[in-house]
């Protein structure tokens, strides 16, 4: 059975950048749709970015600032985050949907999850 683990979170000032990594283990995720979600205190878990075999997708608030990518042969996914704002502060989770090639924004469609990494953006 597979596992996902995020890394790369931390504290950064507004306008700065961070690069998150999501390492897969226990199985290959090459056939899975993968995505990044985030959850801030008091808010619902939100789709941020996803990558499937047909391309990529982003929530409107991060378009032009965040870039999702994956390396199939290292079983790793990345999220490059630029021009960060305090509204980006949240716990960021990576996830995988092993059941479909469809890129879904609904977290209920994802069956593998990491433990999350904290991203804090100061003013």
- Classify each residue of 16-32 as buried b or exposed e, where b means 16 or more C-beta atoms within 10 Å of its C-beta: eebebbbbbeeeebeeb
Tell me what pLDDT residue 59 has.
Answer: 97
Distance CA 14, CA 120 (A): 9
Residue for token pair 């092993």 = 98
Tell me what pLDDT residue 101 has.
Answer: 78
3-state secondary structure at position 60: helix
pLDDT tens digit at each of 123 positions of the chain: 899 999 999 999 999 999 999 999 999 998 899 999 999 999 999 999 999 988 999 999 999 999 999 998 899 999 999 999 999 999 999 999 999 878 999 999 999 999 999 999 999
| Tally of CB atoms within 10 A around 96 | 22
């Amino acid at each position: 059975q597979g596992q996902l683990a995020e890394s790369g979170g931390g504290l950064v000032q507004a306008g700065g950048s961070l690069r998150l990594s999501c390492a897969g283990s226990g199985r290959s995720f090459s056939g899975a749709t993968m995505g990044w979600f985030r959850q801030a205190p008091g808010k619902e878990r939100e789709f941020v970015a996803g990558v499937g075999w047909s391309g990529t997708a982003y929530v409107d608030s991060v378009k032009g600032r965040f870039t999702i990518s994956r390396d199939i042969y290292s079983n790793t996914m990345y999220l490059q985050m630029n021009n960060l704002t305090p509204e980006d502060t949240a716990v960021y989770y990576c996830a995988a949907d092993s059941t479909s090639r469809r890129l879904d924004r609904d977290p209920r469609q994802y069956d593998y999850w990491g433990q999350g990494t904290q991203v804090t953006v100061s003013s």
